[in-house]
Structure 1
Amino acid sequence: MAKYTPPFTLSNKTLTLVAKISESIGRLTVQQEQAKLLRLRKVNRMKTVQGSLAIEGSTLTQQQITAILDGKRVIAPPKEVQEAHNAINSYATITQWHPTTESHLLNAHLQMMTGLVKDAGMYRQDGVGVMSGEHVVHMAPQAERVPKLMAELLDWLETCDVHPLVASSVFHYEFEFIHPFSDGNGRIGRLWQTLILSKWHEVFINIPVESMVFQHQEDYYAAIRQSTQKSDSAPFIEFMLQMIFDAITEAKSAGSEGLSDGLNEGLKLSPIDNVIMTLMEQDCYITNTQLAEQSGKSQSTIERRIKRLKDAGLIKRIGAKKTGYWQLNH
């Protein structure tokens, strides 16, 4: 009987991104000596956990996640604190798992969802639909098909000769399509893609791709929907590779700028940060598009730097997105 192969095509954009990421990750591995990686590991782990949980609706801030990482108590909904503890433990365990071993996948779900669902560590026993607001956007396969579908997917991952960047993205999409668990599919899918990538380059354990996905959350779900409509995961592959490339670019920037834990030691401003804040001082109603035009940087770069400045408490958005204004706190 023919083995299952997920349907996907490789676009020119995908092939270009694979080449660019491969080149960038090689440079990152060489440039960032172990001391820098150790120094950045904590803040990157915080970003990874906060980003992945925020996609699922968690309201915990980066400061709160950092406090939990440090073993401190935080005032927050108990469920969200439990989610954070579970995610921190799961990412701390990631090097002990192998991506094609089913028992490791079930163990990861057990760690990620302990105290949150009754069937942690087990495939779902009921039908499930993926909701967007009040609308069902995806009906997952019947529960009785899940063990076979997951066995086929894990077997494909183990035997395929596809580049890890593409294979990890295909797996991520197929995993979300199957929706094997009653809850926690999003965070496990993102965790497992990081695991697959870390077997290719260990440095991926310290690159917070999940944080980048959170910044483009609507596009993440749109890419999943487009792939389902086309019966081809190409849109999702392209999206995830772009997020991975952007996350690597930011990680390289953080290393070269000497960023340390910005929550405790302050953010070292880059030249573009100073330009952004100067432009905001001159016009507090300036938009991201105008900032990009006047600084000569891409809008995605502007959005990343603004988020970093906001997290560091240097700028604050007052009012609505369209009618509000910027307040500087330096």
Structure 2
Amino acid sequence: MMSHQDSKMSYQPPYTITPKILHLIAEISENLGRLSILMEQSANLRLRRINRIRTIQGSLAIEGNTLTEQQITAILEGKPVIAPPREIQEARNALAAYEQLEQWQASREAHLLDAHLLLMHGLIDEAGTYRHKGVGVMRGDQVIHMAPPANRVNILMGDLLSWLKTTPDHALIASCVFHYEFEFIHPFIDGNGRMGRLWQTLILSQWNPLFIHIPVESMVYAQQEAYYQALNESTSQTDSAPFIEFMLTVILEACLLATPPRQPSSHPPSI
């Protein structure tokens, strides 16, 4: 196992690259090769849109939004939808943010703040700015994580973004480490979950543009309890390897889900 706690860099998040992580990276890379051929076909433009809707529905559902894929599709098409106004606003914001994704650079703080402003527009007063007070992550009545003090957020996020810009590690690893560290810092008063997932997708898409069309978030939603458990395990171990392993497993499943079924050949089999 390779440990990444010690480094000459000014800041290095603690994580271990396990054999399972290396195996998952190889599996994902192999599936991406297959997927790229299928996605290049113009007939799959509809599939890309379906996967985008799945992504948004999944990420919002984790935060308690009840809109279906059909309702989010209707919002995208400008059709009226009967649903709580806040949930419609969340969907509109998410659609706008994922549409903007390719314009942002993952290591730029200004882009991160712009993304939060777009994602949380009309939902909170502090959209686009780091929090100015303490926050805890709640599950029911229980505080499961007390985030670092607000006066540390600027420094911690600066360190994390600098690390992201300079890390030599594979984007599949770096995106998971960033996602974990971002949730640990919890830099915003609200919207941290959906921002962390959006930013992991951005990091991945800058490595391979296919990730714009792979519904990783919908797979996270399907395994929501395991997602929170992996976050908690990483915190208790002071090593984000459990979260990296979980997210890479989810990414692999999402790659398989995004692959359209094979079309039957129109030619008779050769004898």
Whether TM-score is above 0.5 comes out as yes
Write out aligned runs for 1:1-330 (5 A).
3-252=10-259, 254-256=260-262
Q: Write the distance in 2 (CA, Å) between the matches of 1:244 and 1:30.
A: 18
Percent identical among aligned pairs is 60
Q: Helix, strand or coil for the counterpart of 1:256?
A: coil
Letter in 1 for 2:215: P
CA-based RMSD: 1.2
- Deviation, structure 1 residue 42: 1.4
Higher relative contact order (CA 8 A, sep 6+): 2
Preserved CA contact (<8 Å) 1:37 1:206: no
Which aligned segments of 4 or more residues in structure 1 are displaced greater than 6 angstroms? none
* 1:187-211 residue CA offsets vs partner (Å, 9 max, x unmatched): 0000000000001110100001000
Preserved CA contact (<8 Å) 1:224 1:236: yes
Q: Write the distance in 2 (CA, Å) between the matches of 1:89 and 1:46.
A: 12
* 1:140-185 residue CA offsets vs partner (Å, 9 max, x unmatched): 0000100000000000000000000000000000000000000000
Q: Write the distance in 2 (CA, Å) between the matches of 1:215 and 1:164.
A: 24
Q: Write the distance in 1 (CA, Å) between the matches of 2:16 and 2:263.
A: 38
Q: Helix, strand or coil for the counterpart of 2:80?
A: coil
Q: Helix, strand or coil for the counterpart of 2:64?
A: coil
- Deviation, structure 1 residue 63: 1.0
Letter in 2 for 1:207: I
Q: Write the distance in 2 (CA, Å) between the matches of 1:139 and 1:70.
A: 40
* 1:56-77 residue CA offsets vs partner (Å, 9 max, x unmatched): 0001111111111111110000
- Deviation, structure 1 residue 36: 3.5
Preserved CA contact (<8 Å) 2:153 2:187: yes
Q: Write the distance in 2 (CA, Å) between the matches of 1:63 and 1:239.
A: 28
* Alpha-carbon spacing, 1:144–1:257, altered in 2? closer, same or farther (3 Å): farther
Preserved CA contact (<8 Å) 2:56 2:91: yes
* TM-score of the superposed pair, with normalisation by structure 2: 0.93
Letter in 2 for 1:139: M
Q: Helix, strand or coil for the counterpart of 2:145?
A: strand
Instruction: Point out the more displaced range, 191-200 or 35-44.
Output: 35-44
Q: Write the distance in 1 (CA, Å) between the matches of 2:157 and 2:211.
A: 24
Preserved CA contact (<8 Å) 2:137 2:147: yes
Q: Helix, strand or coil for the counterpart of 2:16?
A: coil
* Alpha-carbon spacing, 1:2–1:210, altered in 2? closer, same or farther (3 Å): closer
- Deviation, structure 1 residue 255: 4.8
Q: Write the distance in 2 (CA, Å) between the matches of 1:71 and 1:204.
A: 26
Q: Helix, strand or coil for the counterpart of 2:137?
A: strand
For these two proteins, the number of residue pairs brought into alignment is 257
Letter in 1 for 2:154: P
Preserved CA contact (<8 Å) 1:32 1:255: no
Q: Helix, strand or coil for the counterpart of 1:187?
A: helix
* 1:37-66 residue CA offsets vs partner (Å, 9 max, x unmatched): 412121111101100000000011111111
- Deviation, structure 1 residue 34: 3.5
Gaps of 5+ in 1: 259-330
